[in-house]
Amino acid sequence: MNIQDYLEENLHPSTAKNYLYEINKFRLLNRKTEDYNYQDVMEYVEELRKSYPPNTINRIVSAIKKYYDYLQETEQRSDNPARSIKLRDAKDNPIQLQDLFSEKELQKLLEPRIERYPFLTKKNQIIMSLLVYQALKSGEIIQLKTDDINLEKATIQIIGTGITNSRILPLKAQQILLLYEFINQDRNKLKTVRNDENALLLGKLGTPIQVDDIHYLISTYQKEFAKNLTTITIRQSVITNLLNKGNDLRMVQEFAGHKHLDTTEKYRQTGIKALQNAIDKHHPIK
């Protein structure tokens, strides 16, 4: 098995293509990458920092990690020197008023549509519902296990990340039926002999979905909106809408998994600013 076959077998086609490009560039610019250690890889990353923003570097590092996964899989080396690399650049995702969506606009993301692969329909609907109803981050979605879903109690357990807290959130009625049918029917069709994991969401190859798969799914909805549609703007919109409806600040903090109350507070300030902008725009004396 060559690297291209490995990527295509384990990733979404567009992700596999992007990763292959970055891996080939990594191997072209560096000699004997198959023998690299952690420090060698980090030196390459430091060079990238001079030319690329953090989000681009993160994608490149993900590709390099997959390259060394392949070398391990094919027994060309016993370890992955890039496995522990985690960029700690501060991620500043300021809330842009022009990119926020109303509840009515977000509901459009939940409308049924014809998928290219019908057997992935429910999986895609579940992803969109988790973004719109629970405001989950893409990194939280890909971590979900079947054990995190409690259909009897109508709850979902979210495992915390480096920047969010663990929490248990209620499921909407429509999500309960969707999840029941997916777990007991569609997911079993996607499982493969290789897949012994308990991951909730699987792709068409039977492997757990990745962040890039979610981002690709979101991109297929972009043509329906003039605003910038991403997992981040969806989450920011859901949180802002909750605060605009008068929900308690600490309740929203717990819902969003924010570690600090001031993170939630900035969403309330965004809502106040939006209201002030509307008043300024429509004030009769203007």
> Is residue 229 located within the same domain as residue 269?
yes
Identify which of 205, 58, 12, 16 has the alpha carbon closest to the alpha carbon of residue 2.
16
> Is residue 101 located within the same domain as residue 68?
no
> Is residue 50 located within the same domain as residue 139?
no
Measured CA to CA, the distance from residue 201 to residue 272 in angstroms comes to 37
> Is residue 165 located within the same domain as residue 42?
no
> Is residue 159 located within the same domain as residue 232?
yes
Percentage of residues in the chain having pLDDT higher than 90: 51
> Is residue 17 located within the same domain as residue 122?
no
How does the average pLDDT of the chain come out, rounded? Answer: 85
Q: Please report whether residue 211 resides in a domain.
A: yes
pLDDT per position as a tens digit, 21-50: 999 999 999 989 999 999 899 999 988 887
Q: Output 127 or 161, whichever has higher pLDDT.
A: 127
> Is residue 109 located within the same domain as residue 51?
no
pLDDT per position as a tens digit, 63-109: 999 999 999 999 999 999 998 887 765 454 566 666 789 999 999 99
Beta carbons of 214 and 231 less than 8 angstroms apart: yes
Measured CA to CA, the distance from residue 237 to residue 106 in angstroms comes to 8
The CATH number given to whatever domain includes residue 15 is 1.10.150
Range of the domain at 52: 3-73
Beta carbons of 266 and 95 less than 8 angstroms apart: yes
> Is residue 192 located within the same domain as residue 116?
yes
Over 60: is that where the pLDDT of 275 sits?
no
Q: Output 13 or 130, whichever has higher pLDDT.
A: 130
The CATH number given to whatever domain includes residue 152 is 1.10.443.10
Measured CA to CA, the distance from residue 236 to residue 230 in angstroms comes to 10
Measured CA to CA, the distance from residue 206 to residue 57 in angstroms comes to 28
Over 90: is that where the pLDDT of 272 sits?
no
Lowest mean pLDDT among 137-151, 168-182, 195-209, 247-261: 195-209
Q: Please report whether residue 146 resides in a domain.
A: yes
